[in-house]
Amino acid sequence: MKTLEKVIQSCISNGEKAFVPYIMAGDGGLNVLNERLLFLQELGVTAIEIGIPFSDPVADGETIQQAGERALANGTTLRKVLDTLADRSDKVTVPLVIMTYLNPVLAFGIKEFVERCVGVGVRGLIIPDLPMEESGMLGEALVDVDVALIPLVSLTSPEDRIAEIVSRAQGFVYAVTVNGITGVRNSYSETLEAHLERLKKLSPVPVLAGFGISTSTQVVELGAHTDGVIVGSAIVDAFHRDDLDLIAELVQQATSHIIL
């Protein structure tokens, strides 16, 4: 079992649910990245998902797209993000998960990318445009290292495909809660809860829900049917507006209410 899964399983064993915030690296400058990681860790998050800005972010909604554009304008690259993580304080010990698209990884070189991730303490990878059928190109490089390749499962995936995806899963399964891109949502499909419950029964690793989760109420509602949640757009927007109190309130309310 890899470190990321161990940490989430520890939450479950303690009667808690995992809470994973997403931030966009380079939004506000790379000089604030490690400071934000420490801030979130001190709030008590389970892990932190770090987005890498990309020119064609097909899975991202408006808020995260705009954050990516600001980060790109600041000269942010995958290599620079990993270099910045290498310089982070020893106090930042929470598991880090890199969310990127496949092209930057291929441009970096898979072997070098994996070695660099291991060297800076990255514990998980999320690559939305890497389909299961092609995941071997990266998965093979991760077999003997403590970095989990985290699969995404959509609402439209048939059960036989879900079963195959989760059988290969490491760290956790990312349950996408909407048909479409990330971003704030006011409501969800009537079939979502049943889908999450079915996915949780099929998966040998924890299941975390993400996409469109932006309020403590939604965290509690979706957390009741999974092992935890991922919150992105609301965190990204609050950091952009320098509203740290809102982030603290969201994390504290969520972590104090999503109990098994």
Does 49 participate in catalysis according to the annotation? Answer: yes
Number of Cβ within a 10 Å radius of residue 3: 16
Could you say which of 16, 27, 49, 237 is catalytic?
A: 49
Could you say which of 5, 16, 27, 60 is catalytic?
A: 60
* 3-class SS string, the chain: CCHHHHHHHHHHHCCECEEEEEEECCCCCHHHHHHHHHHHHHHCCCCEEEECCCCCCCCCCHHHHHHHHHHHHCCCCHHHHHHHHHCCCCCCCCCEEEECCHHHHHHHCHHHHHHHHHHHCEEEEECCCCCHHHCHHHHHHHCCCCCEECCEECCCCCHHHHHHHHHCCCCCEEEECCCCCCCCCCCCCCCHHHHHHHHHHHCCCCEEEECCCCCHHHHHHHHCCCCEEEECHHHHHHHHCCCHHHHHHHHHHHHHHCEC
Interaxial angle between packed helices 33-43 and 78-86, expressed in degrees from 0 to 180 and rounded to the nearest 10: 60
Does 87 participate in catalysis according to the annotation? Answer: no
Catalytic residues: 49, 60
